[in-house]
A and B are shown apart, each in its own frame.
Chain A
Amino acid sequence: MNHQLSPDEKREALWQGKLSPKDPQGNPLPFQSPEAEKKYKERVLRVRTAIEMEKLPDRVPVTVFPSMFPWKYAGMTVQEAMYDYERCAAAFKKFILDFDPDLQWGAYAPGPGKFFEILDYKLYSWPGHGVAPEHCYQCNEGEYMKPEEYDALIQDPTGYFIHVYLPRVFGALGGFPMLPFFPGILEMYGLALTFIPFGLPPVQATFQALFEAGAEALKWVTPIGGVDVELATLGYPTLLGGFTKAPFDVIGDTLRGTKGIMVDIYRRPEKLLKAMEVLTPLMIQMGVNSAQATGNPLIFIPLHKGADGFLSDEHFRKFYWPTLKEVILGLIEGGCVPLPAAEGGYSSRLEVVKDLPRGKTVWMIDLTDMADVKKTLGQNACLLGNVPSALLNLGTPEEVKEYVRRIIEVAGKDGGLIVANGSFFDEARPENVKAMIEAAKEYGVY
């Protein structure tokens, strides 16, 4: 087989895989009823049709893409959801069955608490480790990469991550800086000298922690991944294949930090641009690999530091958008469906980002006016959103229904809309979340 699949053929293969789902053993997925199978396939098609914008689906699809809401709804603390994997999975299943969305996104958000403990993860605070039991984990903003380290990152990003960055954000990976220089493993002569670090106690302790962390991750993913399979047999598909990031956010969120990257725009613009250029193919590869591994086409891209108010138009066009655009196009080339989430406001960016291949991306919209988005970006991209967290939290079901009716009116008449929350939320009135889903089903029929 020398035939190289075209981007469209790769994407088609992923969609076909979704339509003839397999169980983890590779056998056809045993649906729990013929209705479940019918609903499952209808939902995959409904979402695909909305994304591709060539024709109208039977109705506007609707989904809930929450943060910790499913577990709060179950009466659990975030801490419980992070440490009791079985209950975490069961609560998520109940959430989907109770709310009946077209698309589910998996029970992966809480993550395994013990795993983070084993690795002594420092980048985030989580319940019991700097955050109250009932609250979501939060990032510890900081400068985890020093300004003088750009050259090391540019020359060898993987080496930089292994030897410098990862030991900084994981206390248990203190042996990594001692690891050999892998491209030096070339010939027999002197080879054993290169491997001496693996015999040293700090490196062995690091690997011991990695074994334990890996075992814990497996213990967690068995029930959590199992929910995806079980929900599929009940008629609820997931399409989420993984995530990647805009190169500007890779550096600005967790390497240099917000202040670091913002001053780098003035102090070392060439290094910043070069580093983003080097990271771009890696961010594409990250998304394409996970879509292939999971068989799910959607690759989530949370957008952070290019929102309204962060950068001038000139800086957005020069520093943020070129490499993000390259990532989006690279994902499309790799057969994926990129799902950038325009967190915060994006009004000032719409004219810049609007010219993408039609029907190939989904944009999650947060606080930007949906009518404005539809007229610009929404001409080429399917929109997902944008019921506000404040409304879901503090409004009434009637207000939520009215909001949904309006976004369908202004952004959904000719397809290309998936009704959903606009940003990730932990707290909400369940009846409001239900109202969002019911309203899309009621008002969204074409």
Chain B
Amino acid sequence: MSEGLVNAIADMREEEAIQMVRDMLAKGAKPMAILDAARQAMDIIGQRYEKGIYFLPELMLAGEMMGQIAEILKPKLAESPEVRRLGKVLMGTVKGDIHDIGKNIVCFMLDANGFEVLDLGVDVPPQKFVEALRDFQPQVVGLSGFLTLAFESMKETVDAIKAAGLRGQVKIMIGGGQVNEQVSQYVGADAYGRDAVSGVSLAKKWVGVQ
């Protein structure tokens, strides 16, 4: 039964998947078991994205399906489930830039790969990154930006992290739009990611996985 659900989600059969969740609940399945199946499906979707089989339509539909399933299960879950996490990543689009499609994909992929992600949203000032760094204690910070103005904002953010004395505690990756190795060096990041997949590999490498 739960294998059927995993496949329905992973193969993008949305209506069928949601119906299966309702049927399983009606037949007395444990909400946690359903949630586990949904998580397994997200793993498969993440792997297919990494292999270049899936792209934005699949990731976005997966996000929609996950949201619907969580909504159905929420009243039935006594407490929020504990999950083993690989590490923490702080994400945000830097000051002045309000683009978020790329950043959201990276967040989704990090989450699917077992990271705990705190997304600060768009147009995030350097000081807000610093504060979140203190509170959230991530191992990795991801700075996103689409426009050329982001080069300067990323540099300001990295400088603010340095000034706060926190640079040694985190690895910083940048990505988006026109970002490349040259930009990475200029802003003082540890690396840049060409796409969400390389963002995930960087984060994994830095927390010591694989």
Interface residues of A (CB under 8 A from B): 125, 130-132, 134-136, 138, 140-141, 258-259, 262-263, 265-267, 305, 309-312, 315, 367, 388-391, 393-395, 423, 425-428
Tell me whether A423 and B55 are in contact in the complex, defined as CB-CB below 8 angstroms, given that A262-B60, A309-B195, A390-B183 are known contacts. Answer: no
Structural contact, A389 and B148, CB atoms closer than 8 A: yes
B29 contacts the other chain (Cβ, under 8 Å)? no
Tell me whether A311 and B57 are in contact in the complex, defined as CB-CB below 8 angstroms, given that A131-B96, A388-B180 are known contacts. Answer: yes
Structural contact, B60 and A263, CB atoms closer than 8 A: yes
Fill in one digit per residue for B19-30: 1 if any A CB lies within 8 Å of its CB, else 0: 000000000000
Tell me whether A136 and B178 are in contact in the complex, defined as CB-CB below 8 angstroms, given that A131-B96, A263-B57, A266-B61 are known contacts. Answer: no
Tell me whether A423 and B100 are in contact in the complex, defined as CB-CB below 8 angstroms, given that A136-B147, A312-B55 are known contacts. Answer: no
Structural contact, A427 and B101, CB atoms closer than 8 A: no
A427 in complex: contacting residue of B56, B99, B149, CB < 8 Å: B149
Separation of A388 and B182 alpha carbons in the complex (Å)? 11
18 contacts between A and B (CB under 8 A): A131-B96, A138-B98, A140-B98, A141-B100, A141-B101, A258-B101, A259-B60, A263-B64, A266-B12, A310-B55, A312-B55, A388-B180, A389-B148, A389-B178, A390-B179, A423-B177, A425-B178, A427-B152
Structural contact, B182 and A125, CB atoms closer than 8 A: no
In the complex, besides A309-B195, A312-B53, A391-B182, 9 extra interface pairs with C-beta distance below 8 angstroms are A132-B96, A262-B60, A266-B12, A267-B14, A390-B178, A393-B148, A423-B178, A425-B148, A428-B148
Separation of A131 and B149 alpha carbons in the complex (Å)? 12
Residue of A nearest to B59 (CB): A262
Fill in one digit per residue for B105-127: 1 if any A CB lies within 8 Å of its CB, else 0: 00000000000000000000000
Separation of A309 and B50 alpha carbons in the complex (Å)? 11
B136 contacts the other chain (Cβ, under 8 Å)? no
Tell me whether A266 and B151 are in contact in the complex, defined as CB-CB below 8 angstroms, given that A138-B99, A141-B101, A394-B183 are known contacts. Answer: no
User: In the assembled complex, which residues on chain B have CB atoms less than 8 Å from the CB atom of A391?
Assistant: 182
Separation of A428 and B149 alpha carbons in the complex (Å)? 10
User: In the assembled complex, which residues on chain B have CB atoms less than 8 Å from the CB atom of A135?
Assistant: 96, 147, 149
Separation of A393 and B145 alpha carbons in the complex (Å)? 15
Interface residues of B (CB under 8 A from A): 12, 14, 53-57, 60-61, 64, 96-101, 147-149, 151-152, 177-180, 182-183, 186, 195
Structural contact, A311 and B148, CB atoms closer than 8 A: no
User: In the assembled complex, which residues on chain A have CB atoms less than 8 Å from the CB atom of B180?
Assistant: 388, 390
User: In the assembled complex, which residues on chain A have CB atoms less than 8 Å from the CB atom of B12?
Assistant: 266
Residue of B nearest to A69 (CB): B148
Expressed in whole angstroms, the minimum distance between the Cβ of B91 and any Cβ of chain A is 17
Expressed in whole angstroms, the minimum distance between the Cβ of B176 and any Cβ of chain A is 10
Which 7 pairs between the two chains have the least Cβ-Cβ distance?
A389-B178, A262-B57, A262-B60, A265-B57, A427-B148, A425-B148, A262-B56
Structural contact, A262 and B61, CB atoms closer than 8 A: yes
Tell me whether A138 and B147 are in contact in the complex, defined as CB-CB below 8 angstroms, given that A266-B61, A389-B178 are known contacts. Answer: yes
Structural contact, B55 and A309, CB atoms closer than 8 A: yes
Separation of A217 and B149 alpha carbons in the complex (Å)? 28
Separation of A261 and B78 alpha carbons in the complex (Å)? 36
Structural contact, B149 and A426, CB atoms closer than 8 A: yes
Structural contact, A388 and B57, CB atoms closer than 8 A: no
Tell me whether A426 and B147 are in contact in the complex, defined as CB-CB below 8 angstroms, given that A138-B97, A140-B98, A310-B55 are known contacts. Answer: yes
Separation of A389 and B146 alpha carbons in the complex (Å)? 11
Separation of A425 and B150 alpha carbons in the complex (Å)? 11
Structural contact, A311 and B55, CB atoms closer than 8 A: yes
Residue of B nearest to A309 (CB): B195
**Most chain-B Cβ atoms within 10 A of its Cβ — which of A125, A134, A265, A388?**
A265
Separation of A304 and B191 alpha carbons in the complex (Å)? 26
Separation of A315 and B147 alpha carbons in the complex (Å)? 27
User: In the assembled complex, which residues on chain A have CB atoms less than 8 Å from the CB atom of B178?
Assistant: 367, 388-390, 423, 425
B182 in complex: contacting residue of A140, A305, A390, CB < 8 Å: A390
Separation of A311 and B57 alpha carbons in the complex (Å)? 7
Separation of A296 and B44 alpha carbons in the complex (Å)? 51
Separation of A389 and B176 alpha carbons in the complex (Å)? 13
Separation of A367 and B182 alpha carbons in the complex (Å)? 14
Residue of B nearest to A388 (CB): B178
User: In the assembled complex, which residues on chain A have CB atoms less than 8 Å from the CB atom of B101?
Assistant: 141, 258
Separation of A132 and B96 alpha carbons in the complex (Å)? 7
Separation of A315 and B98 alpha carbons in the complex (Å)? 28
User: In the assembled complex, which residues on chain B have CB atoms less than 8 Å from the CB atom of A423?
Assistant: 177-178
Separation of A315 and B60 alpha carbons in the complex (Å)? 15
User: In the assembled complex, which residues on chain B have CB atoms less than 8 Å from the CB atom of A132?
Assistant: 96
Expressed in whole angstroms, the minimum distance between the Cβ of B56 and any Cβ of chain A is 5
Separation of A266 and B14 alpha carbons in the complex (Å)? 9
Expressed in whole angstroms, the minimum distance between the Cβ of A445 and any Cβ of chain B is 29
Separation of A258 and B99 alpha carbons in the complex (Å)? 12
User: In the assembled complex, which residues on chain B have CB atoms less than 8 Å from the CB atom of A311?
Assistant: 55-57
User: In the assembled complex, which residues on chain B have CB atoms less than 8 Å from the CB atom of A259?
Assistant: 60
Residue of B nearest to A78 (CB): B149
Separation of A315 and B54 alpha carbons in the complex (Å)? 10
User: In the assembled complex, which residues on chain B have CB atoms less than 8 Å from the CB atom of A141?
Assistant: 99-101
Residue of B nearest to A260 (CB): B60
User: In the assembled complex, which residues on chain A have CB atoms less than 8 Å from the CB atom of B149?
Assistant: 134-136, 426-427
Structural contact, A315 and B148, CB atoms closer than 8 A: no
Structural contact, A427 and B195, CB atoms closer than 8 A: no
Expressed in whole angstroms, the minimum distance between the Cβ of A264 and any Cβ of chain B is 9
Separation of A311 and B54 alpha carbons in the complex (Å)? 8
Separation of A189 and B182 alpha carbons in the complex (Å)? 71
User: In the assembled complex, which residues on chain B have CB atoms less than 8 Å from the CB atom of A258?
Assistant: 56, 60, 101
A394 in complex: contacting residue of B60, B99, B147, B151, CB < 8 Å: B151
Separation of A262 and B54 alpha carbons in the complex (Å)? 12
Separation of A132 and B182 alpha carbons in the complex (Å)? 26
